[in-house]
Amino acid sequence: MTQEQALNILKTGANVFLTGEPGSGKTYVVNAYVKYLRTCLVEPSITASTGIAATHIGGMTIHSWSGIGIKTKLDRYNLDKIVTSEYISKRIRKARVLIIDEISYRFHEPQRGDIIVFRYPQDPQEYFIKRVIGLPGEKVEVKDGQVYIYNDKNPDGFVLDESGYLASDVKTYDVTDQIVSLNSNEYFVLGDNRNSSKDSRSFGAVNKSFLTGRVAFRGWPFDKMTVFHTPTYPTN
């Protein structure tokens, strides 16, 4: 396996055991993956079982990173130590943990407003996180800074009220005024950072087969712990 192949596997987000002969390029691959994560605004927490390996990838050993040593379980003393140690807290706060629900969509369809994880249609080895805006069978139009939805219930269309998660001064624009028609298995997705998001306005609708799951919970850092609920809209 080449270094590029190994890096592409890491980018899928799967659990990977990377091994090889000394000098085969493991450190290079890990460093390339770390660089990729940071371009995605994800700050990885880099650990290793041995000091020399951690040093080579700009990290540290597991027990040094956590500050509590290797444990089979964490008791109240350990947790208090993490919380009260400024050095440990600063390091751990850089990590971000999202809990992805990969089960629910086996039993029901994605809903408007869900925050989903999916494979980038133009490069399925990359993953994106966006919000579902348009549902299968609907038409979506972006114009005058707003999103319009057309469906069987609202053939004349309605303005999607996104005040539940977007600031009042946020506008949605597109380079064209084209109305996008969604097939029976397609979704129109947008990022909440509308001015700089790469989403369905540029790469089109997302086929259901590319969906991985729904973002259900942000578990870390503790001060930003959040349960993500599907928003309700005045008109659907």
Res 5: pLDDT: 84
Is the CB of residue 132 less than 8 Å from the CB of residue 182? no
**CATH 2.10.109.10-classified regions of the chain:** 99-227
- The CATH code of the domain at 99-227 is 2.10.109.10
Res 99: pLDDT: 66
Res 75: pLDDT: 65
Res 11: pLDDT: 82
Q: Which of 101, 85, 131, 83 is nearest to 231 (CA)?
A: 131
Name the pTM for this structure.
Answer: 0.59
Res 52: pLDDT: 42
Parts of the chain with a pLDDT under 50? 48-57, 59-68, 70
Burial letters 109-125, b for 16+ CB under 10 A, else e: ebbbbbbbbbbebeeee
Res 31: pLDDT: 80
Is the CB of residue 88 less than 8 Å from the CB of residue 199? no
Residue 216 CB: number of other CB atoms within 10 A?
Answer: 19
Res 210: pLDDT: 92
> First and final CA of the chain: distance in angstroms?
49
Res 114: pLDDT: 92
Res 53: pLDDT: 46
The residues, ordered by sequence, that sit 6+ positions from 192 with a Cβ below 8 Å of its Cβ are 131, 165, 166
Tokens of 172: 């949605």
Q: pLDDT tens for residues 9-28?
A: 888 876 677 776 666 777 78
